[in-house]
Structure 1
Amino acid sequence: MTTTALAPEEVARSNIYGLLAQLFYAPPDQALLLGLAQVKPGDGDSAPTAMGDAWRELARGAASADAEAVREEYESLFFGTGRAEISLYAGAYRRAHAGDNPLVQLRDFMAQHGFVRRNGVVEPEDHVAALCEVMRHLIMQDDVAAQRTLFAAHLWPGLLPLCDAVSSHGRASFYAPVARLAKTFFELEHSAFDMD
Protein backbone atom coordinates (compact mmCIF):
# COMPACT_ATOMS: atom_id res chain seq x y z
CA MET A 1 0.00 0.00 0.00
CA THR A 2 1.22 3.48 -0.79
CA THR A 3 2.47 5.70 2.01
CA THR A 4 1.97 8.94 0.08
CA ALA A 5 -1.31 10.77 -0.12
CA LEU A 6 -3.29 10.12 -3.26
CA ALA A 7 -3.96 12.96 -5.66
CA PRO A 8 -7.49 14.39 -5.43
CA GLU A 9 -8.32 12.91 -8.85
CA GLU A 10 -7.42 9.44 -7.59
CA VAL A 11 -9.57 9.87 -4.50
CA ALA A 12 -12.44 11.00 -6.75
CA ARG A 13 -11.97 7.94 -8.99
CA SER A 14 -11.98 5.69 -5.95
CA ASN A 15 -15.13 7.35 -4.64
CA ILE A 16 -16.94 6.93 -7.97
CA TYR A 17 -16.05 3.24 -8.08
CA GLY A 18 -17.28 2.95 -4.49
CA LEU A 19 -20.57 4.65 -5.33
CA LEU A 20 -21.13 2.47 -8.39
CA ALA A 21 -20.39 -0.63 -6.30
CA GLN A 22 -22.93 0.48 -3.72
CA LEU A 23 -25.64 1.30 -6.28
CA PHE A 24 -25.23 -1.95 -8.20
CA TYR A 25 -24.94 -4.10 -5.07
CA ALA A 26 -28.23 -2.96 -3.56
CA PRO A 27 -30.84 -0.27 -4.13
CA PRO A 28 -30.09 3.04 -2.40
CA ASP A 29 -31.95 4.06 0.71
CA GLN A 30 -33.67 7.45 1.00
CA ALA A 31 -30.60 9.04 2.64
CA LEU A 32 -28.36 8.10 -0.30
CA LEU A 33 -30.98 9.32 -2.77
CA LEU A 34 -31.10 12.67 -0.94
CA GLY A 35 -27.30 12.88 -1.02
CA LEU A 36 -27.20 12.09 -4.74
CA ALA A 37 -29.89 14.71 -5.40
CA GLN A 38 -27.56 17.34 -3.94
CA VAL A 39 -24.58 16.47 -6.15
CA LYS A 40 -23.36 19.50 -8.06
CA PRO A 41 -20.68 18.45 -10.56
CA GLY A 42 -17.76 20.72 -11.31
CA ASP A 43 -16.29 23.47 -9.24
CA GLY A 44 -17.29 26.60 -11.08
CA ASP A 45 -16.41 25.19 -14.49
CA SER A 46 -19.23 26.31 -16.76
CA ALA A 47 -18.17 24.18 -19.73
CA PRO A 48 -20.45 21.16 -20.08
CA THR A 49 -18.79 17.76 -20.01
CA ALA A 50 -20.18 14.28 -20.55
CA MET A 51 -19.37 13.37 -16.96
CA GLY A 52 -20.97 16.56 -15.62
CA ASP A 53 -24.08 15.89 -17.70
CA ALA A 54 -24.24 12.32 -16.39
CA TRP A 55 -23.93 13.51 -12.78
CA ARG A 56 -26.66 16.12 -13.31
CA GLU A 57 -28.97 13.51 -14.84
CA LEU A 58 -28.37 11.18 -11.87
CA ALA A 59 -28.99 14.04 -9.41
CA ARG A 60 -32.31 14.87 -11.11
CA GLY A 61 -33.30 11.21 -11.06
CA ALA A 62 -32.41 10.88 -7.38
CA ALA A 63 -34.31 14.06 -6.50
CA SER A 64 -37.53 12.65 -7.92
CA ALA A 65 -36.99 9.07 -6.74
CA ASP A 66 -38.67 7.24 -3.91
CA ALA A 67 -36.55 4.60 -2.15
CA GLU A 68 -39.33 1.99 -2.23
CA ALA A 69 -39.92 2.50 -5.96
CA VAL A 70 -36.18 2.26 -6.62
CA ARG A 71 -36.03 -0.96 -4.59
CA GLU A 72 -38.85 -2.40 -6.69
CA GLU A 73 -37.07 -1.30 -9.88
CA TYR A 74 -33.82 -2.89 -8.70
CA GLU A 75 -35.53 -6.18 -7.94
CA SER A 76 -37.47 -6.10 -11.20
CA LEU A 77 -34.37 -5.48 -13.32
CA PHE A 78 -31.69 -7.47 -11.54
CA PHE A 79 -33.58 -10.28 -9.79
CA GLY A 80 -36.38 -12.49 -10.84
CA THR A 81 -37.89 -15.88 -10.68
CA GLY A 82 -35.53 -17.97 -12.73
CA ARG A 83 -33.40 -15.51 -14.63
CA ALA A 84 -32.99 -11.77 -14.09
CA GLU A 85 -33.94 -9.42 -16.93
CA ILE A 86 -30.48 -7.84 -16.72
CA SER A 87 -27.46 -9.68 -15.40
CA LEU A 88 -25.09 -7.79 -13.12
CA TYR A 89 -22.27 -10.19 -13.99
CA ALA A 90 -19.61 -9.13 -16.49
CA GLY A 91 -19.32 -12.69 -17.77
CA ALA A 92 -22.86 -12.54 -19.13
CA TYR A 93 -21.68 -9.96 -21.68
CA ARG A 94 -18.45 -11.59 -22.77
CA ARG A 95 -17.82 -14.22 -25.38
CA ALA A 96 -15.58 -16.94 -24.08
CA HIS A 97 -13.02 -18.21 -26.56
CA ALA A 98 -11.68 -21.75 -26.59
CA GLY A 99 -9.45 -22.24 -23.57
CA ASP A 100 -10.44 -18.83 -22.22
CA ASN A 101 -12.28 -18.60 -18.91
CA PRO A 102 -12.54 -14.96 -17.77
CA LEU A 103 -13.92 -15.89 -14.35
CA VAL A 104 -10.96 -18.18 -13.62
CA GLN A 105 -8.60 -15.45 -14.83
CA LEU A 106 -10.36 -12.93 -12.57
CA ARG A 107 -10.05 -15.27 -9.59
CA ASP A 108 -6.34 -15.73 -10.31
CA PHE A 109 -5.87 -11.95 -10.59
CA MET A 110 -7.67 -11.36 -7.31
CA ALA A 111 -5.64 -14.01 -5.51
CA GLN A 112 -2.38 -12.54 -6.86
CA HIS A 113 -3.37 -9.15 -5.46
CA GLY A 114 -4.49 -10.38 -2.05
CA PHE A 115 -8.25 -10.27 -2.51
CA VAL A 116 -9.94 -13.15 -0.70
CA ARG A 117 -13.54 -14.22 -0.96
CA ARG A 118 -15.39 -13.78 2.33
CA ASN A 119 -16.90 -16.85 3.96
CA GLY A 120 -20.53 -17.30 3.02
CA VAL A 121 -20.33 -15.30 -0.20
CA VAL A 122 -21.77 -17.34 -3.03
CA GLU A 123 -21.84 -14.68 -5.76
CA PRO A 124 -19.28 -15.02 -8.55
CA GLU A 125 -16.49 -12.45 -8.45
CA ASP A 126 -17.48 -10.83 -11.76
CA HIS A 127 -20.49 -9.02 -10.25
CA VAL A 128 -20.25 -5.35 -11.23
CA ALA A 129 -20.22 -4.30 -7.55
CA ALA A 130 -17.31 -6.63 -6.76
CA LEU A 131 -15.32 -5.44 -9.77
CA CYS A 132 -15.85 -1.80 -8.80
CA GLU A 133 -14.84 -2.54 -5.19
CA VAL A 134 -11.63 -4.27 -6.28
CA MET A 135 -10.82 -1.34 -8.57
CA ARG A 136 -11.49 1.09 -5.71
CA HIS A 137 -9.01 -0.77 -3.50
CA LEU A 138 -6.38 -0.88 -6.25
CA ILE A 139 -6.69 2.89 -6.65
CA MET A 140 -6.26 3.39 -2.91
CA GLN A 141 -3.16 1.16 -3.08
CA ASP A 142 -1.87 3.29 -5.99
CA ASP A 143 -1.29 0.13 -8.04
CA VAL A 144 -1.68 1.56 -11.55
CA ALA A 145 -0.43 -1.57 -13.33
CA ALA A 146 -3.01 -3.74 -11.56
CA GLN A 147 -5.74 -1.16 -12.24
CA ARG A 148 -4.91 -1.19 -15.94
CA THR A 149 -4.89 -5.00 -16.06
CA LEU A 150 -8.20 -5.38 -14.21
CA PHE A 151 -9.87 -2.68 -16.26
CA ALA A 152 -8.71 -3.97 -19.65
CA ALA A 153 -9.36 -7.64 -18.93
CA HIS A 154 -12.58 -7.51 -16.92
CA LEU A 155 -14.29 -4.14 -16.56
CA TRP A 156 -14.09 -2.72 -20.07
CA PRO A 157 -15.22 -5.80 -22.03
CA GLY A 158 -18.06 -6.75 -19.69
CA LEU A 159 -19.42 -3.61 -18.10
CA LEU A 160 -20.05 -1.40 -21.13
CA PRO A 161 -22.62 -3.86 -22.54
CA LEU A 162 -24.14 -4.10 -19.05
CA CYS A 163 -24.49 -0.30 -18.92
CA ASP A 164 -26.10 -0.31 -22.37
CA ALA A 165 -28.55 -3.03 -21.32
CA VAL A 166 -29.60 -1.07 -18.24
CA SER A 167 -29.83 2.36 -19.86
CA SER A 168 -31.94 1.06 -22.75
CA HIS A 169 -34.33 -1.04 -20.65
CA GLY A 170 -37.87 0.31 -20.69
CA ARG A 171 -38.38 -0.12 -16.94
CA ALA A 172 -35.08 1.42 -15.87
CA SER A 173 -36.07 4.76 -14.44
CA PHE A 174 -33.55 5.49 -11.67
CA TYR A 175 -31.01 2.94 -12.90
CA ALA A 176 -30.85 4.31 -16.47
CA PRO A 177 -28.96 7.44 -15.32
CA VAL A 178 -26.84 5.28 -12.99
CA ALA A 179 -25.84 3.18 -16.00
CA ARG A 180 -25.15 6.26 -18.14
CA LEU A 181 -22.93 7.71 -15.40
CA ALA A 182 -21.11 4.38 -15.14
CA LYS A 183 -20.62 4.12 -18.91
CA THR A 184 -19.37 7.71 -19.18
CA PHE A 185 -16.96 7.09 -16.31
CA PHE A 186 -15.71 3.80 -17.80
CA GLU A 187 -15.15 5.54 -21.15
CA LEU A 188 -13.06 8.21 -19.39
CA GLU A 189 -11.12 5.50 -17.58
CA HIS A 190 -10.49 3.71 -20.88
CA SER A 191 -9.17 6.91 -22.46
CA ALA A 192 -6.95 7.62 -19.46
CA PHE A 193 -5.46 4.12 -19.47
CA ASP A 194 -4.87 4.39 -23.23
CA MET A 195 -2.94 7.64 -22.71
CA ASP A 196 -0.59 6.17 -20.08
Structure 2
Amino acid sequence: MTHSHRYLLFYKPYAVLTQFSDRTEASRDTLKAYIDVPGVYAAGRLDRDSEGLLLLTNDGWLQHRLTDPVFAHPRTYWVQVERCPDEPALEHLRQGVVIKGDRTRPAQVRILEQEPDLPPRDPPIRFRKTVPTAWLELTLTEGRNRQVRRMTAAVGHPTLRLVRRAIAHLRLEGLEPGQWRDLSEDEVMELRRICRSPRSKKRP
Protein backbone atom coordinates (compact mmCIF):
# COMPACT_ATOMS: atom_id res chain seq x y z
CA MET A 1 0.00 0.00 0.00
CA THR A 2 1.53 3.32 -1.02
CA HIS A 3 1.39 6.19 1.45
CA SER A 4 -0.17 8.46 -1.18
CA HIS A 5 -3.32 6.34 -1.30
CA ARG A 6 -6.16 6.68 1.20
CA TYR A 7 -8.90 4.13 1.83
CA LEU A 8 -11.81 5.27 3.99
CA LEU A 9 -14.80 3.35 5.30
CA PHE A 10 -17.79 5.62 5.96
CA TYR A 11 -21.18 4.95 7.55
CA LYS A 12 -23.43 7.02 5.30
CA PRO A 13 -26.49 8.33 7.12
CA TYR A 14 -29.95 8.51 5.57
CA ALA A 15 -30.58 11.49 3.24
CA VAL A 16 -26.89 12.13 2.47
CA LEU A 17 -25.81 12.27 -1.18
CA THR A 18 -22.90 10.07 -2.28
CA GLN A 19 -20.98 13.06 -3.64
CA PHE A 20 -19.09 16.07 -2.31
CA SER A 21 -21.16 18.81 -3.98
CA ASP A 22 -24.79 19.36 -4.93
CA ARG A 23 -25.57 21.72 -7.80
CA THR A 24 -29.32 21.72 -7.26
CA GLU A 25 -31.04 24.66 -5.63
CA ALA A 26 -32.19 22.51 -2.73
CA SER A 27 -29.92 22.36 0.30
CA ARG A 28 -29.04 18.69 0.72
CA ASP A 29 -26.36 17.01 2.81
CA THR A 30 -23.32 15.71 0.93
CA LEU A 31 -20.17 13.83 1.92
CA LYS A 32 -18.46 17.21 2.40
CA ALA A 33 -20.30 17.63 5.70
CA TYR A 34 -18.63 14.51 7.10
CA ILE A 35 -15.31 13.86 5.33
CA ASP A 36 -12.50 16.42 5.09
CA VAL A 37 -9.97 14.25 3.25
CA PRO A 38 -9.08 15.83 -0.14
CA GLY A 39 -9.00 13.82 -3.34
CA VAL A 40 -11.01 10.75 -2.32
CA TYR A 41 -14.15 9.63 -4.14
CA ALA A 42 -16.78 6.98 -3.52
CA ALA A 43 -16.08 3.57 -5.03
CA GLY A 44 -19.68 2.73 -5.82
CA ARG A 45 -22.82 4.50 -4.72
CA LEU A 46 -25.58 4.40 -2.17
CA ASP A 47 -28.87 6.10 -2.93
CA ARG A 48 -29.76 9.18 -0.89
CA ASP A 49 -32.48 7.19 0.91
CA SER A 50 -30.15 4.27 1.71
CA GLU A 51 -27.73 3.96 4.62
CA GLY A 52 -24.59 2.08 5.52
CA LEU A 53 -21.11 1.30 4.26
CA LEU A 54 -19.42 3.43 1.64
CA LEU A 55 -15.79 3.01 0.57
CA LEU A 56 -13.87 6.11 -0.54
CA THR A 57 -10.40 6.16 -2.06
CA ASN A 58 -8.00 8.04 -4.34
CA ASP A 59 -6.70 4.70 -5.69
CA GLY A 60 -8.01 4.75 -9.26
CA TRP A 61 -7.18 1.10 -9.91
CA LEU A 62 -9.14 -0.11 -6.92
CA GLN A 63 -11.99 2.28 -7.59
CA HIS A 64 -12.34 0.88 -11.11
CA ARG A 65 -12.28 -2.71 -9.89
CA LEU A 66 -14.97 -2.01 -7.31
CA THR A 67 -17.32 -0.29 -9.75
CA ASP A 68 -16.85 -2.31 -12.96
CA PRO A 69 -19.52 -5.08 -12.98
CA VAL A 70 -17.00 -7.56 -14.44
CA PHE A 71 -15.25 -7.63 -11.06
CA ALA A 72 -18.17 -9.01 -9.11
CA HIS A 73 -17.43 -8.47 -5.42
CA PRO A 74 -20.12 -9.21 -2.82
CA ARG A 75 -22.13 -6.49 -1.09
CA THR A 76 -24.46 -7.38 1.75
CA TYR A 77 -27.58 -5.43 2.72
CA TRP A 78 -30.05 -5.49 5.57
CA VAL A 79 -33.45 -4.79 4.05
CA GLN A 80 -36.68 -4.05 5.89
CA VAL A 81 -39.63 -4.97 3.67
CA GLU A 82 -43.40 -4.94 3.87
CA ARG A 83 -44.82 -8.27 5.03
CA CYS A 84 -42.82 -11.47 5.47
CA PRO A 85 -41.73 -13.06 2.18
CA ASP A 86 -42.61 -16.72 1.72
CA GLU A 87 -40.20 -19.31 0.36
CA PRO A 88 -41.25 -18.85 -3.32
CA ALA A 89 -40.53 -15.09 -3.05
CA LEU A 90 -37.13 -15.78 -1.46
CA GLU A 91 -36.30 -18.34 -4.13
CA HIS A 92 -37.25 -15.83 -6.82
CA LEU A 93 -34.72 -13.39 -5.37
CA ARG A 94 -32.09 -16.14 -5.21
CA GLN A 95 -32.59 -17.11 -8.84
CA GLY A 96 -32.63 -13.53 -10.14
CA VAL A 97 -35.37 -11.02 -10.90
CA VAL A 98 -36.04 -9.46 -14.30
CA ILE A 99 -35.55 -5.68 -14.16
CA LYS A 100 -36.10 -3.68 -17.33
CA GLY A 101 -35.86 -6.83 -19.44
CA ASP A 102 -32.62 -8.11 -17.90
CA ARG A 103 -32.31 -10.72 -15.17
CA THR A 104 -30.25 -9.88 -12.11
CA ARG A 105 -27.49 -12.20 -11.01
CA PRO A 106 -28.45 -14.84 -8.45
CA ALA A 107 -28.44 -13.48 -4.90
CA GLN A 108 -28.04 -14.89 -1.44
CA VAL A 109 -31.02 -14.08 0.77
CA ARG A 110 -32.36 -15.11 4.15
CA ILE A 111 -34.88 -13.80 6.66
CA LEU A 112 -33.31 -12.39 9.82
CA GLU A 113 -34.87 -13.93 12.92
CA GLN A 114 -34.28 -10.74 14.89
CA GLU A 115 -34.31 -7.09 13.84
CA PRO A 116 -30.69 -5.94 13.37
CA ASP A 117 -29.26 -3.63 16.01
CA LEU A 118 -29.26 -0.37 14.07
CA PRO A 119 -29.55 3.28 15.13
CA PRO A 120 -33.04 4.72 14.62
CA ARG A 121 -33.55 6.33 11.25
CA ASP A 122 -34.39 10.02 11.09
CA PRO A 123 -37.06 10.35 9.84
CA PRO A 124 -38.41 6.91 10.74
CA ILE A 125 -39.94 4.66 8.10
CA ARG A 126 -43.64 4.93 7.40
CA PHE A 127 -45.41 2.50 9.67
CA ARG A 128 -48.82 0.93 9.16
CA LYS A 129 -50.33 -1.15 11.96
CA THR A 130 -52.11 -3.40 9.47
CA VAL A 131 -48.96 -4.25 7.50
CA PRO A 132 -46.23 -6.25 9.28
CA THR A 133 -42.59 -5.94 8.25
CA ALA A 134 -39.63 -8.31 8.01
CA TRP A 135 -35.85 -7.94 7.75
CA LEU A 136 -33.85 -9.71 5.06
CA GLU A 137 -30.11 -10.16 4.59
CA LEU A 138 -29.40 -9.90 0.87
CA THR A 139 -26.00 -10.35 -0.79
CA LEU A 140 -25.46 -9.19 -4.39
CA THR A 141 -22.49 -9.26 -6.75
CA GLU A 142 -23.66 -6.37 -8.93
CA GLY A 143 -24.81 -2.83 -8.27
CA ARG A 144 -27.52 -1.66 -10.65
CA ASN A 145 -29.43 1.54 -10.01
CA ARG A 146 -31.78 1.02 -7.04
CA GLN A 147 -31.40 -2.71 -7.56
CA VAL A 148 -32.38 -3.95 -4.10
CA ARG A 149 -35.54 -1.85 -4.03
CA ARG A 150 -36.53 -3.00 -7.50
CA MET A 151 -35.86 -6.64 -6.66
CA THR A 152 -37.97 -6.70 -3.50
CA ALA A 153 -40.76 -4.74 -5.22
CA ALA A 154 -40.76 -7.28 -8.08
CA VAL A 155 -41.56 -10.10 -5.65
CA GLY A 156 -44.29 -8.08 -3.90
CA HIS A 157 -42.38 -6.82 -0.84
CA PRO A 158 -41.49 -3.11 -1.14
CA THR A 159 -38.37 -1.95 0.68
CA LEU A 160 -38.95 0.35 3.65
CA ARG A 161 -35.38 0.68 4.93
CA LEU A 162 -32.10 -0.29 3.28
CA VAL A 163 -28.72 -0.51 5.04
CA ARG A 164 -25.53 -1.77 3.39
CA ARG A 165 -23.89 -3.93 6.02
CA ALA A 166 -20.79 -5.17 4.19
CA ILE A 167 -18.55 -4.59 1.17
CA ALA A 168 -16.65 -7.84 0.64
CA HIS A 169 -14.95 -8.50 4.02
CA LEU A 170 -15.47 -4.96 5.35
CA ARG A 171 -18.23 -4.59 7.93
CA LEU A 172 -20.41 -1.85 9.40
CA GLU A 173 -19.62 -2.77 13.00
CA GLY A 174 -17.56 -0.20 14.91
CA LEU A 175 -18.96 2.83 13.08
CA GLU A 176 -21.92 5.06 13.86
CA PRO A 177 -23.82 7.04 11.19
CA GLY A 178 -21.62 9.90 10.01
CA GLN A 179 -18.36 8.32 11.22
CA TRP A 180 -15.46 7.14 9.06
CA ARG A 181 -12.11 5.44 9.55
CA ASP A 182 -9.05 4.51 7.53
CA LEU A 183 -8.74 0.89 6.46
CA SER A 184 -5.90 -1.06 8.00
CA GLU A 185 -3.08 -2.24 5.76
CA ASP A 186 -4.33 -5.83 6.09
CA GLU A 187 -7.85 -4.76 5.04
CA VAL A 188 -6.48 -2.99 1.98
CA MET A 189 -4.33 -5.96 1.00
CA GLU A 190 -7.32 -8.31 1.25
CA LEU A 191 -9.49 -5.91 -0.75
CA ARG A 192 -6.89 -5.69 -3.51
CA ARG A 193 -6.60 -9.48 -3.53
CA ILE A 194 -10.37 -9.85 -3.95
CA CYS A 195 -10.39 -7.31 -6.79
CA ARG A 196 -7.33 -8.64 -8.60
CA SER A 197 -8.94 -11.19 -10.95
CA PRO A 198 -12.15 -10.60 -12.92
CA ARG A 199 -15.01 -13.01 -12.74
CA SER A 200 -16.83 -14.14 -15.85
CA LYS A 201 -19.46 -11.83 -17.26
CA LYS A 202 -21.62 -14.90 -17.81
CA ARG A 203 -24.21 -15.41 -15.13
CA PRO A 204 -24.46 -18.82 -13.52
TM-score of the aligned structures, taking structure 1 as reference length:
0.27
Bigger helix fraction: 1
